[in-house]
Structure 1
């Protein structure tokens, strides 16, 4: 049961958690516009340098499965604080890495520790804030995550272009350190009672043992490959094809976040007007149009339109999947959402790994074209599944009533 803390204390901690979410989100996208600079410094191709993206996504996704139980057992805020301070060390290791392999290892460490910040923050807010105020508090927290997504590319492009890519990691380390120390100070008197840890294997079976759960997890994996995995190559594509600076390319891709805000700020209206099925189809179509625009656009300005549409379409499709995931196994919702996050970030890493040889041998446009075809199909498959599931639930309800 939640044990609400005094309002001002909760507000201060949520503010710090929002900054932690900012750092976590920015860290995931920071390297994308740095890839040409990394390729030049370490004498490899852009595709070869993308190993640092793959390493981060794999570590981030895998550790989702661990941090939920750790937070339940040792206290969510304590684990968040330790992870934030550990992320400082990972970011510093990135800044001083003398080789691409060591940079990939340091990025994996950074991805592993920062994986705790957003999911455990959401869980801590659920423990600390009463249901009456929880939705508004979560909205305030999510602001940090969205701004991190919006600015991560731009920050990475700025440092790569002007001060050197290593200073981007020093910047992140500073945020992690300050937030971690402030959270450490806030731990006194902020402990919230949490349920005793349950046995995990049975909970995982609840999710994976049903066809609906497996379907949602498979679809989020495909979505991640075709969106965030392929997004990795957009800044380098804009830089190499149109000759724009890395900062310029990062700013263009940052408009993905603006498209996302266009959904989240009006989410209630979007859901009321379109409903889940049409949101899934609309999101898939918008994503297809976005990647087609990147493929055939003959000037960098088309990238702005493409990225705004990409953000809007992604959040329409992803939010629909997220809602389904929250109901995959109500008796094991935390486990279900951990698996959901794991599949998403595993898909992101797989997208970067699969896309790298395509970019090196054929060009990024072919990768964008594949996404333009795959994502509308994904949206329509999801809409069809929602319709079939609603029909099955109605039939089951009628059968139970009879």
Structure 2
């Protein structure tokens, strides 16, 4: 998901194409990654989640390996689109498969462990690819990614060989009916709305960290990179402490706490202290975000057992759509209203999100 970004300059020089053209490799992965999820969710429900996970991993591995051989940017972009479409069928279906296997009482902890590996992979992919490019070149990094994808494919075929039987053949009519039934659930609509807002606010601000640091003379891309790494580290801290948090707070109070944890860092960034203090705020924001996100993911796996993959995929689509819309909205706010009003509004939005989602998802009942 993240390993191409540090290689844009190297690919640009090697293929003799402008850097802004090569930067489209990120969108070439991200857009099909998001758009394919509502399609592959019902396919997984019909044909078997484990089967689709294996196919997606295989296609991902092959497309990554072939990318290392491509002579021009156009074919590289085409393979990146294929990689994104294949990648989009993995995480939602894995989450749905966890929902099939793990009882609700233990599911949030199980999904948090999955998040730990996902966050670690994204951190390592983004950080190591820049170092490895200097040693083995961008083609070598693509080849290595293809090898890792192949290893994951083998692991899936071995580890998921005792898959649950599929429910039947894929039908567009059945898929539409299932989506209609899911969207008819008030709880489902609430979860999709919550994750849309969450992704829009929290990830909408992150592209502007480096420009804000630069404008204030506090740093630039390296410092912003450290801040984003601190955000991911906050997610790791959450995953290591989730069992204790659930025991002490329960899900309802954890959602409210997450809103407070998420609001404070935006005010710190708006105030503009030195970047180390802003990095500490991003660590807290990471904890708050994953407290929210893990809770929403867990609840969405319980919406419907019959169409669990469809529900999780629609949830993921809402999340990535929120991210895509959030960045330009935050940018427009920074231009029109300024830093402090925009980030203060973001802080209020995250605080309200925690409070409202706790009240809607757990009305007048004890936290799980």
Provide the secondary structure at the position in 1 that maps to 2:162.
Answer: coil
Q: Which residue of 1 aligns with 2:63?
A: 90
Q: Which residue of 2 aligns with 1:265?
A: 240
Q: TM-score, structure 1 length as denominator?
A: 0.70
Name whichever of 277-286 and 309-318 sits farther off: 277-286
- Kindly provide the CA deviation profile for residues 6-49 of structure 1, in whole angstroms up to 9, marking residues without a partner as x: xxxxxxxxxxxxxxxxxxxxx2x33455667778985456xx87
Q: Which residue of 2 aligns with 1:310?
A: 285
Written as runs of structure 1 = structure 2, the 5 A alignment for 1:291-330 is 291-297=266-272, 299-329=274-304
> Are the structure 2 counterparts of residues 302 and 38 from structure 1 closer, same or farther at C-alpha, using a change threshold of 3 Å?
farther
Is structure 2 residue 169 aligned with structure 1 residue 194?
Answer: no
Of 30, 55, 58, which residue of structure 2 is paired with 1:57? 30
Of 259, 274, 283, which residue of structure 1 is paired with 2:258? 283
Q: Which residue of 2 aligns with 1:149?
A: 122
Is structure 2 residue 146 aligned with structure 1 residue 173?
Answer: yes
- Cα drift, residue 261 of structure 1: 2.1
Of 39, 49, 52, which residue of structure 2 is paired with 1:76? 49
The number of residues matched between the two structures is 358
Name whichever of 132-141 and 204-213 sits farther off: 132-141
CA contact (8 A) 1:92 1:173 kept: yes
- Kindly provide the CA deviation profile for residues 227-255 of structure 1, in whole angstroms up to 9, marking residues without a partner as x: 23543555787799666775x75455223
Q: State the superposition RMSD in angstroms.
A: 4.4
- Cα drift, residue 118 of structure 1: 2.3
Question: In 2, Cα distance between the equivalents of 1:102 and 1:368?
Answer: 44
Written as runs of structure 1 = structure 2, the 5 A alignment for 1:1-400 is 27=1, 29-31=2-4, 42-43=17-18, 51-92=24-65, 95=68, 96=70, 98-99=72-73, 105-125=78-98, 141-159=114-132, 167-184=140-157, 190-196=162-168, 199-232=174-207, 234=209, 250-297=225-272, 299-329=274-304, 332-351=307-326, 354=328, 370=342, 373-387=345-359, 390-391=362-363
- Cα drift, residue 58 of structure 1: 2.5
Question: In 1, Cα distance between the equivalents of 2:119 and 2:197?
Answer: 22
> Are the structure 2 counterparts of residues 108 and 92 from structure 1 closer, same or farther at C-alpha, using a change threshold of 3 Å?
same
CA contact (8 A) 1:97 1:106 kept: no
- Cα drift, residue 145 of structure 1: 1.6
Provide the secondary structure at the position in 1 that maps to 2:254.
Answer: helix
Q: TM-score, structure 2 length as denominator?
A: 0.75
- The gaps in structure 2 that reach 5 residues or longer are none
CA contact (8 A) 1:88 1:176 kept: yes
Provide the secondary structure at the position in 2 that maps to 1:30.
Answer: coil
- The gaps in structure 1 that reach 5 residues or longer are 1-26, 395-402
> Are the structure 2 counterparts of residues 159 and 193 from structure 1 closer, same or farther at C-alpha, using a change threshold of 3 Å?
same
